[in-house]
Structure 1
């Protein structure tokens, strides 16, 4: 077997395709191996020769642009729910504990109705680097959400240092004799069945206005929350304590209805309302990438302090409503705020002329 990485990166699902100057660098920040992931202009570059296929980028990417050849998260999730075990370990059932994001962690605990144990006994000796801090962050965030939901069970970190039984360990050692250097330290991959590589996704032009990113992990969380048959009307989460979604508000006095924010929203969480006179928002689709904030020319999009869980699950909010009238000077339609019948451009031109007249005086 060669050293080729099992990590797959679909550039078309990366938020940088929707806005090249996006501030998102989650994959680069979490990667434990130097120079595996980098950014060239707007493109995230994967160095497959150095990648050890730990899957940390899979758990970190908000738009699920990364995946692992031979390991499907949703299938793992379904299989894990059907089993009696409640322990996650890099030596038994995951390539690395960081491959799971908070949504999966919360969903597993809600559905299994028991504590979920994270075996971190191997983290300090892991050759790929210390990812324990990232594991702790995810566990802390998941437990915050569970506490707010009124759920007693928690994600628990324990140094169990679990290993597979002796027979499989011998098989692993025999396998590793011919295994590539880059991934030789990851027991999980040594015990995975060999799978055929598939071609890298080829870059093709993408209509970012029409083609939005699907987020399977969000469907998993929503399904788990709804399966609890609980009234979440009074449950609020502090937006700065959750990493995967948000709630927003728009300063309607500044918004010009330029449409940029919802045109570049990667998931369609922001969208136009009837006749494009409203800006709508679905928190259940938001991935908190903040692309909409980055592109807003008037800086009128803001995060709310809290997110109601019932709103997250069921509601589409109206963030802004506009009355469109023709400018009395140039006749170009614009969003009327009740103060002037001149469009912003004509107002700006009027101000420039006024300033020139002052200089002339």
Structure 2
């Protein structure tokens, strides 16, 4: 069997935090027991895969790829084409491969409505993808509406079919002969070709999550499209989007560095002095790992994400610290102006007092 799907485990958010909530690839896969979650790790059964591309387009970090279908390549070709129709019989393996990033960007770049041909979904063996397709359309149209763009992604039962090309018998015979010859030539060298799924070869033993971050191509595609629109004072409601967010940090932050060390994309980072926690919505994928790992639970979502902040690719300061040595243990900690004893020493003192009370 020729495996066309590949999964780069080192791009998955679960490499950065194994208990991450993200399981989008599992949820969008239409074939049971193909992409599963086992012991907090993604497992792919390639023999079951039907190469629909849903995982490819909907993975926030683009961990999946299908040989022969490159989403960015499709995107740029479609922009140059006069056609505004997308169909599984024309230019994509399945409409579910296009998430809100690509769909909304296509409308903006082409300056017209985009039509998704859902006629074939009715009789398709993976027809249940229509729910995912409609959801992605809804999310894309929210982006367009919030950005003040008049164009929309629309679903229609077009029923596109590729036109039949009539050939004379001699040409058909020659074409068949060439195909057979090419096939024989391929299998003659097949054992010398590199494996299709290079990410599964096991050459790499670990990933340095602190220094090695993921940057999805579709993020640049969406930002470049939105940068061509007048988005002054326009914003997304954070609870209505899944592709990014805006955040704030309260005063209980201790500058422990856990949040930005495990951030998959580097949306959260620190200044060179390590005294500031910085954040860029342009890189955020709303995985919420930073919220989950924060010991103080001091990271919060803003209600709005201004589109100009998203497009700018700039970092803003979420927290700024003054570090002083603890008067007890001399270990540096974030000074809040109230005490010169670090939180750890204060906790030890509290525990000691409790023990003394028990002794009395």
- Fold shared by both chains (TM-score > 0.5): yes
Q: 1:101-141 deviations in whole A, cap 9, x for unaligned? A: 11111111001000000111111221024011111111111
1:197 is displaced (CA, Å) by 5.8
Residue 215 (structure 1) aligns with: 216
Which 4+ residue blocks in structure 1 deviate beyond 4 angstroms? none
Q: Match for 1:27 among 17, 25, 36?
A: 25
Q: Match for 1:305 among 303, 306, 314?
A: 303
Q: Is the 8 A contact 1:33 1:129 kept in 2?
A: no
Q: Secondary structure at the match of 1:157?
A: strand
Q: Is the 8 A contact 1:69 1:197 kept in 2?
A: no
Q: Are residues 1:244 and 2:243 paired?
A: yes
Q: Are residues 1:130 and 2:131 paired?
A: no
- Tell me which moved more, 237-246 or 293-302: 293-302
* TM-score relative to the length of structure 1: 0.88
Residue 156 (structure 1) aligns with: 154
**Paired residue total:** 333
Map 1:1-361; keep pairs closer than 5 Å.
Answer: 2=1, 4-167=2-165, 198-201=196-199, 202-203=201-202, 204=204, 205-228=206-229, 230=230, 232-251=231-250, 253-314=251-312, 315-361=314-360
Q: Secondary structure at the match of 1:75?
A: helix
1:155 is displaced (CA, Å) by 0.5
Residue 180 (structure 1) aligns with: none
Q: Is the 8 A contact 2:57 2:71 kept in 1?
A: no
Q: Secondary structure at the match of 1:287?
A: coil
Q: Secondary structure at the match of 1:340?
A: coil
Residue 181 (structure 1) aligns with: none
Q: Is the 8 A contact 1:5 1:53 kept in 2?
A: no
Q: Is the 8 A contact 1:107 1:225 kept in 2?
A: yes
Distance 1:5 1:235 in 2: 44
Q: Is the 8 A contact 1:17 1:42 kept in 2?
A: no
Q: Secondary structure at the match of 2:222?
A: helix
Distance 1:227 1:53 in 2: 34
Q: 1:299-323 deviations in whole A, cap 9, x for unaligned? A: 1111111100011111311111111
Q: 1:265-322 deviations in whole A, cap 9, x for unaligned? A: 1111110013100000011011111111121111111111110001111131111111
Q: Secondary structure at the match of 1:276?
A: coil
Distance 1:197 1:152 in 2: 46
1:196 is displaced (CA, Å) by 8.5
User: RMSD value over aligned CA atoms?
Assistant: 1.9
Q: Secondary structure at the match of 1:354?
A: helix
Distance 1:350 1:196 in 2: 61
Q: 1:80-105 deviations in whole A, cap 9, x for unaligned? A: 01111101111111101111111111
Q: Secondary structure at the match of 1:108?
A: helix
Q: Secondary structure at the match of 2:160?
A: coil
Distance 2:127 2:293 in 1: 35
Q: Secondary structure at the match of 2:149?
A: coil
Give the 3 Å change call, closer, same or farther, for CA 199–144 of structure 1 in structure 2: closer
Q: Secondary structure at the match of 1:33?
A: coil
Distance 2:298 2:135 in 1: 30
Q: Secondary structure at the match of 1:106?
A: helix
Distance 1:199 1:268 in 2: 27
Distance 1:84 1:93 in 2: 13
* TM-score relative to the length of structure 2: 0.89
Distance 2:346 2:98 in 1: 52
Asked which structure has the greater CA Rg, the reply is 2
1:223 is displaced (CA, Å) by 1.3
Q: Is the 8 A contact 1:5 1:52 kept in 2?
A: no
Q: Is the 8 A contact 1:117 1:157 kept in 2?
A: yes
Give the 3 Å change call, closer, same or farther, for CA 199–60 of structure 1 in structure 2: closer
* 5+ long unaligned stretches in structure 2: 167-171, 177-192
Q: Is the 8 A contact 1:269 1:285 kept in 2?
A: yes
Distance 1:108 1:165 in 2: 25
1:200 is displaced (CA, Å) by 2.6
1:23 is displaced (CA, Å) by 1.2
